[in-house]
Structure 1
């Protein structure tokens, strides 16, 4: 399968062919996504929670994200690889934003970076990064990195003020040069309005159909513990399977059922005797 490109994504959008994006944070996850034929792999800062065990996405560092992104790059052959830039790595200035984005392109092999938000400062950062030659995916609606300012992890676009903000930010992200935009936790009616005016693909997550969808790999596989967000559909229960498998292994070790002869290597009698003599 040929590697996905930005023009190919635009062709899918124009043809009405849904775009599939999924997160991945390591080599096995990226390989699974790539083998499944997804169009885009997102190394999300959600890895802070589902891989690194942090309470929120804010805690993850650029160096940590680069490690995750590099592993995902090695597992991705055909999908377009997009990497989240973590909180605090682009806010200070355009120069900081460009430096961070270039690191993801050079050190991790990212095809594009994703920035949350659409206020004027964020639009400036998008313009600067795009001007430096790194493609950008925007992200509007619920923006987890700054969720505290939005009143927590809650849907956006449900009030007049919020709906106008979402629409204006999405249009701004497009005009700043982003080639794609993720719309998170927004009523489907708002997303449909955006589809009428935006010229770039809209990737929804809890936001109706858009031109495509993204989900966190660990959510859809059923690895994430606790209550899932409303927009998550679980396609497996791998988390429970993992616990069951490790429990069975522990039981076998404790009972002496593992290992058995079939799990051991054989040595010649002469080798055993030579080892015995060496210990005398």
Structure 2
């Protein structure tokens, strides 16, 4: 159990921290993650020793109470915040309520803005379902060399913007293995 101070200034304990997640990834250790929509699902996940939870940013306080030691990533959705200021405000609010990190599918400037405030932020690359029209519909991304190189650039840009991790959706296995 790791002793931490939360973003809201409270003393707390977590099974994992961002540092642990990065170390585990580097060592090839597999971890479990589920989405919890309410306190009962969060409590069930805790009973099953799930490593991390992804939750709607509006449910952080409820879920933190039900699963006090699990690493929680609060998800911000595309339509939830229009401006970078709104996204930053939502991130600060979710962190103050007990989130350990923020997930944002928004652009690099939003990721950078959140990260500059010392908030651990997870980006997104690959297929964005809400932007599927830009990809010619719902499909696997990264099947061509150009698309695979574009994904590599996306990962690098997210890292440069301050993202500690990245959700990858519908990406060709071969491209992801090479990246």
Specify if TM > 0.5.
Answer: yes
Indicate yes or no: 2:91 matched with 1:101: yes
Shift of 1:16: 1.9
* TM-score normalised by the chain length of structure 1: 0.55
Paired position in structure 1 for 2:116: 131
Over the residues paired in the alignment, what is the CA RMSD in angstroms? 2.0
**CA deviation after TM superposition for structure 1 residue 88, in Å:** 2.9
In the TM superposition, structure 1's runs of 4+ consecutive aligned residues that sit over 4 Å from their partners are none
Cα distance in 1, alignment partners of residues 105 and 38 from structure 2: 22
Partner residue, 1:116: 105
Q: CA deviation at 1:101?
A: 1.2
Q: Deviation digits for residues 190-221 of structure 1, max 9, x if unmatched?
A: 11122xxxxxxxxxxxxxxxxxxxxxxxxxxx
Q: Equivalents in 2 of 1:145, 1:103: separation in Å?
A: 25
Equivalent in 55, 64, 81 of residue 73 of structure 1: 64
Larger Rg: 1
Aligned position for 1:33: 45
Distance 1:133 1:141, change over 3 A: same
Unaligned 5+ runs, structure 1: 45-64, 195-280
Question: Structure 1 residues 145 and 110, CA, compared in 2 at 3 Å: closer, same or farther?
Answer: farther
Paired residue secondary structure (1:153): coil
2:151 counterpart of 1:166: yes
* Equivalent position of 2:140 in the other structure: 155
In terms of fraction of residues, the more strand-rich structure is: 2
**Do 1:116 and 1:145's aligned partners in 2 also have CA atoms closer than 8 Å?**
no
Aligned to 1:110, what secondary structure does the other structure show? coil
Mapped partners of 1:21, 1:192: distance in 2: 21
**Structure 2 gaps, min length 5:** 3-13
1:191 aligns with 2:176: yes
> Is the 1:39–1:79 contact (alpha carbons within 8 Å) kept by the matching residues of 2?
yes
Indicate the structure whose relative CO is greater, using CA pairs within 8 Å and at least 6 residues apart: 2
Which residue matches 1:14?
26
Equivalent residue number for residue 55 of structure 2: 43
CA distance in 2, matches of 1:111, 1:146: 27
